[in-house]
Amino acid sequence: MKTSICSMVLFFLFTISIFSQKDWKFSSISVSTGETSLTKGLTFSGSISSEHKTIVADLNAELGQALLFYDFSDHFSVGPTIGFYKNVLWFAPIASTSLFNSHIKTLHWGGWSFGNSETSKNETKAIFMFSYQQISICTKSLEVSYALQHYYRFSPEHIFSLKRTINFNENLSAFVSGGYMKTAQKYLWAMGASYNFN
């Protein structure tokens, strides 16, 4: 466990230090707790941006990841992602769309890992790890989402979620979210706060 946490901390710091130079500027930081389909427990997140590029980094006890988005337009972003999950390295392409003044958003993500995260066994051969497809309907403070998630050889998971954001001012906001995983018959919840530097 200590090795896993140390490797993720080093990975997080390395990512931030590399891309916080030159034209890169910090965009936001956030802290959250609870459980979603993608995060669990206390999670720290940060993002930096430069022109048409944005890097998001997340870190918790099980996960360390960096997502690089290239904005080809106001409506479409794509890029590579990489990280550790339960001390197993994975990589994945990611794409997102934003339509109708950001009232409809989609996320398309699929990746491979060098080993099985559920057994924490590392391998040199990449195997299918996950596919995550999400669509969200958004207002200024409310987001309703549906996601279809495949994870290794487990049964496909249908995830329904609702997120409420409270903006205190131009920079500071908080959120609370709830969800339900149909196949696992499991309820999800999370809450957190973020600070936007822009």
Domain ranges of the chain: 2-196
| R_g of the chain computed on alpha carbons | 17
Mean pLDDT of the chain: 89
Return the pLDDT at 22. 66
pLDDT at 5 over 70: no
Q: What burial class does residue 86 get, using C-beta atoms within 10 Å of its C-beta: 0-12 exposed, 13-18 middle, 19+ buried?
A: middle
Q: What burial class does residue 159 get, using C-beta atoms within 10 Å of its C-beta: 0-12 exposed, 13-18 middle, 19+ buried?
A: buried
- Distance from the first to the final alpha carbon of the chain: 36
Q: Where are the beta strands (DSSP E) in 36-168?
A: 43-50, 53-59, 63-71, 76-85, 88-99, 104-116, 121-138, 142-151, 157-167
Return the pLDDT at 1. 46
- CATH classification code of 2-196: 2.40.160.40
Confidence of residue 3 (pLDDT cuts 50, 70, 90): very low
pLDDT at 8 over 80: no
Tokens of 140: 């200024």
Tell how strand 104-116 and strand 121-138 pair up: antiparallel
Cβ atoms within 10 Å of 188's Cβ, excluding its own: 19
Return the pLDDT at 21. 57
Return the pLDDT at 52. 87
- Determine the residue type at 185: Q
Return the pLDDT at 198. 74
Return the pLDDT at 12. 56
118-163 confidence digits (pLDDT tens):
887 788 889 999 999 999 999 989 999 999 999 999 999 999 999 9
Mean pLDDT computed over 56-62: 91
Q: Let me know: does 165 contact 190? Beta carbons within 8 Å.
A: no
Return the pLDDT at 2. 44
Measure the CA–CA gap between 133 and 165, rounded to whole angstroms.
Answer: 22
